[in-house]
Amino acid sequence: LDSWYEQWTALGQRVVDLADRAAAAGHAQTARLAYLRGSNYLRAGGSMLMGAPVDPRLVESNLRTADAFRKGAALLDTPPEIIEIAYEDTTLPGYFFAIDTSARPTVILVGGYDACAEELYFFNGASALERGYNVLAFDGPGQGAALLQQGLVMRPDWENVIAPVVDYLLQRREVDAERIAVIGLSLGAHLAPRAASGEHRIAACIADCGTFDMYGTFLSRLPEAMRAGYEAGDPETVRGVAAMLDQIAMQPTAGWSMRRGMLVHGATSAHEYIEMTKPYSLRGLAERITCPTFVCNAENDPIGATAPDLVAALTCPHEFVTFTAAEGAGDHCEAGARLLYDARSLGWLDGVFGRR
């Protein structure tokens, strides 16, 4: 893990240095592309350090990622405004990209477990801007700077996170209040539908991998005999599962997602983290979503395996797409074929919002 961090960080800094030289020489396009590329390399370097207690290098990586991104984004044709969204007794950091001063449809981007607002620009923001949508990317509790700089951990009731984001948008003249969409990526594909189930000012929802029940997904991966004992609360089985999870969390690569989950949720053990996922279910909530909803998954992605359960629970107008390996889009969040994902998901959104 140290070598991963060191090599990606060195590469990121080398590219940022290139960007600095290009900017000083007046080569704006070269500088922009290098800053944005360097930002993503710096983010990648810190990503494998996610775990509890938080590694100071991860905190520094987050700051450097944001700094490089902001320098590059300032050189975009549609540069963002760096914003702070009022949230409970603090604020949530983010970026607002406005196409122009007219009231336009706007998308709110919601990331996943290891996401940050800067990364969301690359996954969904740039493509939405190209289609004429305003874009708001932000770090919610458990994400990016909100987690690493403010100590805000994840919470399940994402409708109470999105509500102040919508409040913020409705104060802006650039936003068409009747055409606000939320797009969730990875874990965000659970959080976005959860938000739409309780925040009905959202006019459309896109869930990119459509996770329905996080705790249920964990249980499904246990051997049947162990699962029965664990669900029944058998003390010996629970101790055995907890010990197994601790062993997994200690493995450098295989344990990464477990350590990441502990950090994001504020858990002190791998078992506590798993138990903290119990409220992350859309059972009994999905049917409360009233806005048109687009759900997708990828055929080789186990994280999206419960997307059909989400689709089956929906009573709103909806569309379901499974992306395939034959299309180059068979892995998590269609990372190998985002243009295909954009065409189908944003094309669907264009139709919902009456745009062609």
Report, as residue numbers or ranges, the catalytic residues.
186
Distance CA 150, CA 186 (A): 23
Strand 81-87, strand 90-97: pairing: antiparallel
Q: Is the peptide bond before 279 cis (omega within 30 degrees of 0)?
A: no
Task: Give the three-state DSSP class for 204.
Answer: strand
Distance CA 107, CA 330 (A): 25
Cα dihedral across residues 14, 15, 20, 26: positive or negative:
positive
> Which helix (H) or strand (E) covers residue 171, if one does?
none
Q: Determine contact, residues 91/168, Cβ cutoff 8 Å.
A: no
The dihedrals phi and psi of 156, each to the nearest 5 degrees, come to -80, -30
Distance CA 51, CA 47 (A): 10
Judged on CB neighbours under 10 Å (0-12, 13-18, 19+), 171 is exposed
For the chain, where are the E strands, in sequence order? Answer: 81-87, 90-97, 104-110, 134-138, 175-185, 204-208, 293-298, 318-323
> In which residue are the tokens 């044709």 written?
77
User: Residue 95: beta bridge partners?
Assistant: 82, 137
Residue of 91, 40, 33 whose CA lies nearest to 61: 40
